[in-house]
Amino acid sequence: MPPEDADFSERLALVEERIERAAQRCGRKRQDITLVAVSKKFPAERLAEAYRAGLREFGENYIQEFVEKRPALSKLTDARYHLIGHLQSNKAKVACELFQVIQTIDTAKLLGRLNQFAAERGVTIEAMIEVKLSTEESKSGVEPAVIPTLLDAASACANISMTGLMTMPPWSEDPERSRPYFRQLAALALQYRLPKLSMGMSGDLETAIEEGATIVRVGTALFGRRPKPVTA
State the fold for domain 8-223: TIM Barrel (3.20.20)
Q: What is the mean pLDDT of residues 100-115?
A: 98
Q: What are the sequence ranges of the domains in the chain?
A: 8-223
Sequence-ordered list of residues with C-beta below 8 angstroms from that of 97, at least 6 positions apart, any chain? 121
Asked if pLDDT for residue 230 goes beyond 70, the answer is no
Give the three-state DSSP class for 5. Answer: coil
For residue range 147-175, what is the model confidence (pLDDT) as tens digits? 999 999 999 999 999 999 999 999 889 99
Give yes or no for a contact between 231 and 223, defined as CB atoms under 8 angstroms apart.
Answer: no
For residue range 174-193, what is the model confidence (pLDDT) as tens digits? 999 999 999 999 999 999 99
- The pTM of the whole model exceeds 0.75: yes
Q: What is the DSSP string of 30-72?
A: GGGSEEEEE-TTS-HHHHHHHHHTT--EEEES-HHHHHHHGGG
Residue 2: pLDDT band with limits 50, 70, 90: low
CA neighbor of 132 nearest in space, from 114, 148, 149, 145: 145
> For a pLDDT cut of 70, what percent of the chain falls above it?
95
Q: DSSP letter at 203? A: T
